[in-house]
Amino acid sequence: MTSRHPVVFLVDVDNTLIDNDRIAADLKRYLTRTVGRECQERYWAIFEELRAELGYADYLGALQRYRVEHPRDPRVLTVSSFMVDYPFANRLYPSSLDVLERFRAWGTTVILSDGDAVFQPRKIERSGLQQAVDGNVLIYIHKERELDDVERRYPADHYVLVDDKLRILAAVKQVWGVRVTTIAPRQGHYAHDPTALATYPPADVPVERIGDLLAYDLPALLAAAMPTMDDARGR
């Protein structure tokens, strides 16, 4: 039986620990050089169609669909190598590993991500994140729908969730309430999306960048999940 932890830290990957926007920009430039602008634009159109269908980013799946449309184009194969062999560690945000090290000193730390079954695990492994959390990695299709599985694998009295998407933080807060401290680094395009900012409540702890969390101690993070007096009065 899995023992219960006082606190478990759950940390997202894309635009939380890794600058995924820069990875996408690098891929866009590579596609333009390799297959041309028109084909590059077609790839991203397929990518967005597939993301809408699946609910997560599937870079290799989009490449496979592109290949179906262009079965005789050998350049597609070089694109797959670029993706799989990409130096993900170079795109870690400053102090990302230091934050994970700090969390590990306080409690079990887990990578909690959405993604496909090939590219996302590769990214987490090659970036050094898997080793940094002692192999504690969970990758779901929709992680906010799998909280019961997260609890089963890592039971805890309290969770600290770090994610750049307010939508995810709000969904988890609705389920776990004061048992979770939500932290939102303002990194990446999702964190600055005006629609999301207007739709979802702010995180318990908003920070400009992941490295800012090094200034916090554990009691402050745990206390941030508790409603203030004004919240209790409905203000």
Mean pLDDT calculated for residue range 12-21: 96
Assigned CATH class of 20-88: mainly alpha
Average pLDDT of the chain, as a whole number: 92
pLDDT band at 230 (very low <50, low <70, confident <90, very high): very low
Residue whose pair of structure tokens reads 């478990």 in the numeric block: 8
24 φ, ψ (degrees, to nearest 5): -65, -40
Length of the chain: 235
From residue 149, alpha-carbon distances to 103, 152, 153 in Å are 21, 5, 6
β-partners of residue 181 are: 160
Please list the residue range(s) of the chain that carry CATH number 3.40.50.1000: 5-18+92-232
Which tens digits make up the pLDDT trace of 104-121?
A: 999 999 999 999 888 999
Which tens digits make up the pLDDT trace of 193-208?
A: 999 999 999 999 999 9
Domain formed by 5-18+92-232, architecture:
3-Layer(aba) Sandwich (3.40)
Please list the residue range(s) of the chain that carry CATH number 1.10.286.50: 20-88
Mean pLDDT calculated for residue range 115-132: 94
pTM value?
0.92
Q: In the chain, what is the greatest distance between 2 CA atoms, to the nearest angstrom? A: 65
| Least trusted range by pLDDT, from 70-79, 161-170, 172-181, 223-232 | 223-232
